[in-house]
Structure 1
C-alpha cells in the first residue's frame, strides 16, 4: 500500500501537470494540489525548482530534464518510468514546463499510459506562447493590429526527412506568429518567412527566460533580428514573436520597468512560509531565492496527548500546517479529529484560520494579524490555552497570553528541517543578499560558510542583525533605515540602481 491507500494490484494515477512558463506563481491551483498528494514527481529542467517543495517530504523526485540537443533521459525511458511507478499503485506527477500538450510530448506520455490501462489526468499549464509575450508587453492579439495568432515549433523532430510546417501558410495565415524552442534556428526562420512573402521590415522579437525576473527581450525586424540577438548574447529557453503587435512593447513593457527587474536576491530562510520581504522583493521585480528549502516533519507523540487536548479551554493553532500534523499524531493513536474535545479554537493569522475552516472546524478567534494577538483574546483570566504548532513556536504569543492571565503551555507537533533534495544555488549567481533578522544571518553562514563574494551587496534590516552578522564574520554593506521589510527593499533598490545587471 502507498501513502494514499493504493494497492499494488490497482494502478495509481498519473497527473501530467503543466508547470507554467517560469514564474512559479503561474502554477495552477490544480497543479499545486496534484503535487501535494504525489508519491513520485518526475520533473523537467523547465520546472521551477521551488515547486518541488510543494510535494510531500517523502515523495521521490526523479529528474529527467531535457534541453535542445541534450536529453538527460530518452523519452521512451520517461514513459516507462511513469507507467512503472503507477503500476506500483503510486500517485505520480509528471511536472512539465509550460503546458503538457503544447510541444511538450505530453500526448505521447498520455498515449503510453492509456494503452496500459493507467489512469491519466491532464492538468493544463500556462503556456509561454502567451505568457512570455505578455510579460514583455506584447499582446499576441490586439484589435488594432492582430486578430489571429499561430504557435509554431521552432525545433521539429530531427528524425523527420522533411518539414511538416507549411511555411507559405505560416507566413500569410496569421497576424502574429510565435515560435517556441526556435532560438538556434532563428536566422533560418527569419529567412524562410521573408522568402515566403513576409515583409523583411516586419517587427519581431526574441524573449529569453520569459516571465522570470531574468527575462531579456531583443526587438528588431525579420531582416536584422538574428544579428541583434547574437550581439546581445541571448540563450535558450527563448521564443520568437513576429507581427505588428511587437511594436506595442514600447508602450506596454511593464516587467522591465520594475525597480529590481533583472536582479537576483538571496533571502536566507528560517520559516517555511514565504516572508514579507520576499513578497515585497518579488513585487519590485526581483528574482528571489529563499534558501535553504525547508520541509515540515510531524513529531512523534510524547506524553498524554488526549489528556492535554481534553484539559484545554482553548486550542490555539499557530501555523497553517499545525492541524494536519496534530491529526497525523492522533492517527498513530487510532484517533481522529473528534479527539479535539470541547475546547474553543483560535488561529494565528488568516491563513491558519482558513485551513482550519477547510477542515470543518469553527474558529472562535482569528485576528487579521498575530501582532497584539493576546490583546483581544476573548478568554477570562486563568483559562487554559494549549498552543499547537512548530517545535520552535510562537514564544512571544505564549508570553503575551500568559501576561494576560491565561495558563499557557505548548504542544509542538512538527519541526522544520532542511530539505536536502533541493540543492543550494551557487551564491555567486546573486546580486544581493537580504538579512531580515539575526537568525537569517546565522542561516546564511550555515548554508554558505565562505560567505558572500565581494561583488554582492549585503543589506541588514537593523543594528541587532548587523551586530550578529559581524560576530559571524559576515560583511554588511548597508543597514536599512526603519528596521522593516519595506526599508530593506528600498535600501536594495538604492544600492543596486547604479550597478549593471548580470546576463
Structure 2
C-alpha cells in the first residue's frame, strides 16, 4: 500500500523573497509538487528541485485559473499518490488565504499536513513604505479587513462603525476597486475626512508604488494615477510617519526592474546584489543541470586550460578529487572566461588570467565548454528548464522591465533563443529598455545579435554594475 504524502500549507510572504521563513524555504526544497498562487513570488520556485512539478493556481479578479474546489482536490490527489506537496500562498495563509478550507479537505482524508505561517502583506507592505501599523503616539490598535467578500456586488459587509470609531489603523486587502465605497463608509461612521490614507501596490517588490492622500481625496488620486491591485489600503494617523522613516524607496536601485540573462544553473551573486539594493530581478533562462561522466584521462598533457564558467571549476575539481588524482601533476597555465571564473580558481589556490590574454601557443584544453580549434572537456550539460517558460511569461506580464543586463558574451544567444521559445522577439522586448553589457565581449555579442547596447560598467563585477545603475546610467 502506498504511503500517504504530507502537505505543507506555506505562507510565501509579501513578495521580497528574503521574507520567506526558514521553514517555508525548507518545505519548497523538499517538495515533489508545488501549487503556487499569483501573489507568491515565482522566484521562490527556483529553490525547488529540478524534477518538482509546478502547478499554477493563481487567481485574477476577473478569472480563475484553478477554482478553490479544484485546488483542494489536487492537494488530496497528489498527497494520496505519496507526494510531498507544498501549497505556496502569498502573504500569510491564515489571512484571507482560505487555508482553513484546504486544511479541512486534507483532514477529511486523514492526510498529514502542516501550516507554515508567513509575513502578512498588511504589515510588511506598510513597513516597506516607512509606516509601522502601530505606534505608541498614533495607533494602539490595528485591524486587517478584506475589501471584497461573497456579497452579490462584491462590496464588503462590515461593522463600519466599529472600524471607524474603535480601530486606529486599518489595512484593507485588495480593495482598490471598492476604494470609494470604503472611504464613504469610514467617513459616514466617524472617521474625519482628513484621516491619512496610503495605497501600497506590489509591496516589498522593487516595483512597489505608493500613493498618499486622505479619505476625502484618495479615490480621485487613485483614479488619476490608474492605481490598481494588488494593493494594501492603509487608513490611520500613523500614515503620517511615512515622511520621516521611509527607507525602502531610498535604496539606490529602487524602481529598477531588471531582466538578467543567465548561463548558470546555480544561484546568481549578481542577482542577489541587485535585489539587495532594491531592484526587482527576473532571471532568464532558467537552466537545469544534467550530470555527465567526466573523462580526465589526458589532463596532464596540456599546456593551457581554459575554464568556461565558475561551475566548470567546481565540477572539474570535484571529478579530480573523486578519482583521487594528484592535482600537482597538472602543468598547464589556467585561464577563465570571466572574472567570476577566475575568482573561483583563485579560491582554490590557483592563479589565472582572463581568456582575452590567452596566447595561441601550446596545447590547450577548454574545460566545461566547446571549441572548434582545440580539445574540450565536458563537465556537465545543461538545458533550459521549460517548466519555467510560462512562469517567466507571467512575470513579464506583471512587471515593467526597464533594464536588461548581459553578464557575458555567452549569455546572449541562449537568452534570445529562450525568448523565441516563449514566442517573444528580443528586439521587440528590449526596444524601450536600457541594455547593459558587462564587458566589451558582451557588447560585441549584443551588437551582432541586432540589439543596441546602452553602455557598460567600469569593470565586469557586480559592485561595478550596481554603481553604474545607481548613477542613473
Task: Judge same fold: TM > 0.5, yes or no.
Answer: yes
Q: What's 2:339 paired with? A: none
Give the number of the structure whose residues are more often helix, by fraction.
2
Question: What are the ranges of 5 or more consecutive residues in structure 1 without an aligned counterpart?
Answer: 1-6, 306-317, 330-338, 346-368, 378-390, 396-408, 497-503
Q: What's 1:422 paired with? A: 388
Deviation at 1:230, TM superposition (A): 1.1
Identify if the C-alpha distance between structure 1 residues 165 and 53 changes in structure 2 by more than 3 Å, giving closer, same or farther.
same
Deviation at 1:490, TM superposition (A): 2.8
RMSD: 3.3
Q: Distance in 1 between matches of 2:241 and 2:8?
A: 38
Identify if the C-alpha distance between structure 1 residues 494 and 203 changes in structure 2 by more than 3 Å, giving closer, same or farther.
same
1:183-215 superposed Cα distances (whole Å, 9 cap, x missing partner): 111111111111111111111111111111111
Q: How does 1:239-254 map onto structure 2 within 5 Å?
A: 239-254=232-247
Q: What's 1:456 paired with? A: 433
The reply to whether residue 50 of structure 1 matches residue 21 of structure 2 is no
Q: Distance in 1 between matches of 2:367 and 2:45?
A: 24
Q: Distance in 1 between matches of 2:269 and 2:437?
A: 15
Q: How does 1:67-78 map onto structure 2 within 5 Å?
A: 67-78=60-71
Identify if the C-alpha distance between structure 1 residues 74 and 230 changes in structure 2 by more than 3 Å, giving closer, same or farther.
same
Deviation at 1:415, TM superposition (A): 3.5
Q: How does 1:204-353 map onto structure 2 within 5 Å?
A: 204-299=197-292
Deviation at 1:271, TM superposition (A): 1.3
Q: What's 2:331 paired with? A: none
CA contact (8 A) 2:147 2:156 kept: no
Q: What's 2:180 paired with? A: 187
Q: How many residues align?
A: 413
TM-score, normalised to structure 2, is: 0.79
1:196 alignment partner, one of 189, 202, 206: 189
Shifted more, 154-163 versus 126-135: the winner is 154-163
Q: What's 2:408 paired with? A: 437
Q: Distance in 2 between matches of 1:286 and 1:207?
A: 17
Deviation at 1:164, TM superposition (A): 5.5
Question: What are the ranges of 5 or more consecutive residues in structure 2 without an aligned counterpart?
Answer: 298-309, 328-342, 352-365, 371-375
Q: Distance in 2 between matches of 1:69 and 1:296?
A: 38
- 3-state secondary structure, aligned to 1:62: strand
2:349 alignment partner, one of 375, 383, 386: 375
Identify if the C-alpha distance between structure 1 residues 170 and 214 changes in structure 2 by more than 3 Å, giving closer, same or farther.
same
1:46-76 superposed Cα distances (whole Å, 9 cap, x missing partner): 1122222222222222212112242222211
CA contact (8 A) 2:146 2:156 kept: no
Q: Distance in 2 between matches of 1:97 and 1:140?
A: 20
Deviation at 1:31, TM superposition (A): 1.4
Deviation at 1:159, TM superposition (A): 5.9
Shifted more, 155-164 versus 290-299: the winner is 155-164
- 3-state secondary structure, aligned to 1:458: strand
CA contact (8 A) 2:197 2:214 kept: yes
Deviation at 1:341, TM superposition (A): 9.7
Shifted more, 288-297 versus 120-129: the winner is 288-297
Q: Distance in 2 between matches of 1:181 and 1:208?
A: 9
